[in-house]
Each structure stands twice: as C-alpha cells, then as structure tokens.
Amino acid sequence: MRSRVAGVLARRRGRVLAGLSLLLAALIAGHRAVPNTPGRFGSLLESFLPWLGLAVVPLLALAALRRAPLALLAGVLPVTAWVYAFGGLLLPAADPAGGAGGLLVVQHNVSDENADPAGTARVLAAEGADLIALEELVPDALPAYEKALASAYPFHEVRGTVGLWSRHPLTGARTVDIRPADIEEPWSRGLRAVAATPHGEVAVYVAHLPSVRIGAAGLASARRDESARLLGAALDAEEAAGPVIVLGDLNATVDDRGLAPLTSRLSVPERGFAFSFPALFPVARIDQVLARDATVGRIRTLAETGSDHLPVAARVTPDRGAGGPRS
C-alpha cells in the first residue's frame, strides 16, 4: 500500500515538473504571445529571454532526483526551444574571407560620467575599426575623444550627444529627430551620415534611444518605443535603396518587441551574444549593430572602459550589387 501511494505521488510530481517544462518551452518559443499590458511584461520577458534556459537545469535535476520519466522527457522541450532560438549564436563566426572582409564597426555608450575619456578612446581605436559610434558624449569630454581619435579617424561628425568617427570620408551629416513628444528640453540623440567606404557608399545611423526603468508597475519603456518608431520612420523616408548600418545604444535587446520598428527592417548579428550592460555583470546586449542590404557577422564585446557599458564590435559586409544610399 505504501509503495502504491509513493508511486502515485511520484507520478503527480512528474506531472507538475512536466507542466513547468512545457510552460518554459512555451515562453521561450512563444514569447510574442505574452501580452505587453499591463506593465509591458512581454518586453520585460524578452529583455532577458536567453537566460530562461538556465531554468531547465533545476527542472531536469529534480526530475532525475525524483525518478520521473515524464518530467525528464518533457525537459527536452525547453532545451529544444532554446537551441532553436539561440543555438545559432553559439556557432563559429560566419564572416566572409575568414573575418577579414566587410567593415569593422564599434559601438559604445561611453557614459556621461566616464572619468577617463582619453583612455576609453584608446581602447576603441586599438580595435582598428572602420567606424566608431559613440553615445553620451558630453561637452567637457568631447575634446578628449576628438584628440585621441584624430590620427586614426580623420573624419567625424557629432550631433548632440552622439557621434560617428570614420576612416572613410563622411558626407551629408545631419540630425535625425527621434525625440519623444513629451520631452520638451533640448534633446538630440540621432545622427545620419554617408560613409564613402571601399564597398561603396553606406548610410550610417547613430542613435541613443531613451532609457527604460523596471519598477513595481513593470517596465517603463514608452519613450524608448516611441523613439524606435521615429527612427524606423526615418529609415523608411530616407533609405530607398542601398546599404544601411544602424549603431547605437538602443536600450533594448533584439528580441524585445519594442525594437520591432527596427528589427523588422534591419538584419541582426548572426553570431554571438555580446551582453554589454551593465559592464560589471552584463546580462543583456542593449548596444546594437543592425544593417540593411548587408550582413552583420559575429558580434563581440571589447575590453572594459570607464563606462557602465561594454563596447561591442562586429563586421558588416554590404551585399554585392546593392545600390548606394541617397546623400
């Protein structure tokens, strides 16, 4: 009798664990179905989506400890969902020409509290990139960046608190208005320029979308989402054809639906997680390299600087035959 009761309890425990595994698999594979109201919970979930894979470990461990075959079998489902969603990012780099082709780009939010802008600039310049995009450029620190990057990057443009440094000539630089409607004070965080690269003309955008906050009411991301829509509209209006690269602190992961106005128009990195924030213990990549009519290869983080973000670098290869952008 006792063994029969124990068997019934074990089966029940197995069903509970199996149900949790099914729920986890559904969240990973079907995160878009999670409603965003109230509290923008869907976006919050998507901000940390890759980390859901860690929940598989205790589920499988408990299933093995309790000798629950059903739970062990169900544990395969979230593993499969995670591998399908993120396994490709772990594969070796797929960059053409052994990683030597295309344009090497660096993206970094340098922090408006950075105590060593010159040192930060040296770290970035050491990568030898074609393009460097910076955000949170404050007036007091800007001369240090300009001086440290001048020799290797003779061309640069700054608009507000964002800037672009280039080894190749830049033309047609102008501000891109991505300011949310409820911000009344001076606010300039968008820049567009055309870089005359060895691969032809490439339109390059640098953007810093508004920050988000996590509180008792959920994720406060309305301003960021509005700014993303404005940037997406600018791309539609300006870029009829030709390669486009978007670099910036977008305060969102590429899985976050708030970034859909951009990720629906642009390709994302094919390899690498490159968690960039916070620098002390990175849990998400909110510093992005996106492109159109171009392939973004492996994205990776660079050495820590004086910022609360880590720099990221990627190689972007314009598609052959893509027409040049409008200036």
**Side chain identity at residue 319, one-letter code:** D
pLDDT < 70 stretches in the chain? 1-13, 94-100, 321, 323-327
Nearest to 162 by CA among 85, 240, 107: 107
Neighbours of 91 (CB within 10 A): 11
Backbone φ and ψ of 6, nearest 5°? -60, -40
Give the per-residue pLDDT at 37: 86
Give the per-residue pLDDT at 2: 53
Contact of 228 with 236, CB cutoff 8 Å: no
Give the per-residue pLDDT at 154: 97
> What does pTM read for this prediction?
0.92
Task: Report domain extents, the chain.
Answer: 2-90, 97-318
C-alpha to C-alpha distance for 312 and 289, rounded to whole angstroms: 8
Residues in a beta bridge with 318: 294
CA atoms within 13 A on the CB side of 253: 22
Backbone φ and ψ of 281, nearest 5°? -150, 85
C-alpha to C-alpha distance for 145 and 117, rounded to whole angstroms: 6
Q: Domain 97-318: give its CATH code.
A: 3.60.10.10
